[in-house]
C-alpha cells in the first residue's frame, strides 16, 4: 500500500467526455504545476474514440485500425496499442513519486490495487496476471495501465472498461498481447455507468494512496484552471 501523507489533499476533476489531445494538454499543465511544488491531481474522464500507441509501441498492433477513420496518437506513456472510447473510465493521476520512494513498480502495483478494489466493490473478483501490468477478470483484461514519468512525477495512467461495448478493441492487438480478450464491469454483471463508477474509484484511490481527502479542480469556460502551486 502506498502512502502519500495523511495531510495531503488530492485535486480531482471529472469533466465528462474530453478530446484526447485536450486531456494531454491538461496533463502537461498539471505536471508543470506539480514540478513547481503544486498538489497531486487526478483527472477522471471519457474520450471520444481514439487509438493510442505507447512511446515504443509496435504500430502493427493497430491492425486495420491504423488505416481507419478513428484518430491514432503516439504518446509518451509506456505500453503498446490500446483503444479509448465512451463507456471506458480513463484516469490520469499526476503524482509525485517521491512520496512512494521513487519506485515506479510500487506505483504501478498501487494503481492495480485501486482498480482491483474498485471492481471488487461491484461484486467482481479481479486480479493481477503475473508478468503483465493491468487487471484481469476470469482470464480477460478489464483494465490497462500505461504511465510516463518526468523528473519523478508520474502522469498518463489507466483505463477501466465499464460499459458493454468493446467493439473498438476488435481490430487491434490490445496491449500487444496476442489473443487477449477484453471484458468490462457491465459484461461481468456489474453496472455499465461510468459516472457511477467514479466516486467508487476516488474513494479507493484516496484510501490506497493515503490522501486526507479531495478537492475539486476548477474549470472556466470548459478549460482546466489549476490553482497556483
Q: Is residue 2 part of a domain?
A: no
pLDDT at 98: 87
Give the active site residues. 175
Report the CATH number at residue 211.
3.30.930.10
- Bridge partners of residue 201, in order along the sequence: none
Can you tell me the distance from the alpha carbon of 130 to that of 196, in angstroms, rounded to the nearest whole number? 30
Assess contact for 171 and 49: CB atoms under 8 A. no
Q: In this predicted structure, which of 12-26, 38-52, 93-107 has the lowest mean pLDDT?
A: 93-107
Residue in the block written with cell 489533499: 9
Q: Is residue 229 part of a domain?
A: no
Q: Is residue 3 part of a domain?
A: no
pLDDT surpassing 70 at residue 217: yes
pLDDT at 139: 96
Q: Is residue 34 part of a domain?
A: yes
pLDDT 10s digits, 43-68: 999 999 999 999 988 999 999 888 88
Q: Is residue 90 part of a domain?
A: yes
pLDDT surpassing 60 at residue 155: yes
**Could you tell me the residue range of the domain that residue 138 belongs to?**
9-223
Q: Is residue 1 part of a domain?
A: no
Instruction: State the total domains in the chain.
Output: 1
Burial class for 219, CB neighbours closer than 10 Å (0-12, 13-18, 19+): exposed
Burial class for 17, CB neighbours closer than 10 Å (0-12, 13-18, 19+): exposed
pLDDT band of 26, cuts 50, 70, 90: very high
Residue in the block written with cell 501490468: 133
Q: What is the mean pLDDT of the chain?
A: 93
pLDDT at 74: 93
pLDDT at 202: 98
Q: Is residue 4 part of a domain?
A: no
Q: Is residue 214 part of a domain?
A: yes
pLDDT at 223: 74
- Mean pLDDT calculated for residue range 193-209: 97
Amino acid at each position: 500500500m502506498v502512502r502519500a501523507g495523511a495531510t495531503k489533499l488530492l485535486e480531482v476533476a471529472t469533466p465528462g467526455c474530453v478530446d484526447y489531445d485536450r486531456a494531454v494538454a491538461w496533463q502537461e499543465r498539471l505536471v508543470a504545476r506539480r514540478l513547481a511544488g503544486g498538489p497531486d491531481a487526478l483527472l477522471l474522464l471519457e474520450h471520444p474514440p481514439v487509438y493510442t500507441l505507447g512511446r515504443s509501441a509496435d504500430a502493427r498492433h493497430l491492425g486495420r485500425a491504423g488505416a481507419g477513420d478513428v484518430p491514432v496518437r503516439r504518446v509518451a506513456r509506456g505500453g503498446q496499442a490500446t483503444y479509448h472510447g465512451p463507456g471506458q473510465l480513463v484516469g490520469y493521476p499526476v503524482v509525485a513519486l517521491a512520496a512512494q520512494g521513487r519506485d515506479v513498480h510500487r506505483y504501478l502495483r498501487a494503481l492495480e490495487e485501486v482498480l482491483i478494489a474498485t471492481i471488487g466493490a461491484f461484486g467482481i473478483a479481479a486480479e493481477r496476471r503475473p508478468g503483465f501490468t493491468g487487471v484481469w477478470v476470469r482470464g480477460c483484461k478489464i483494465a490497462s495501465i500505461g504511465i510516463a514519468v518526468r523528473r519523478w512525477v508520474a502522469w498518463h495512467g489507466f483505463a477501466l472498461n465499464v460499459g458493454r461495448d468493446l467493439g473498438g478493441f476488435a481490430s487491434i492487438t490490445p496491449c500487444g498481447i496476442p489473443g487477449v480478450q477484453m471484458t468490462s464491469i457491465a459484461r461481468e454483471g456489474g453496472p455499465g455507468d461510468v459516472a457511477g463508477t467514479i466516486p467508487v474509484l476516488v474513494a479507493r484511490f484516496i484510501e490506497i494512496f493515503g490522501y486526507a481527502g479531495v478537492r475539486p479542480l476548477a474549470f472556466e469556460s470548459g478549460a482546466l484552471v489549476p490553482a497556483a502551486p
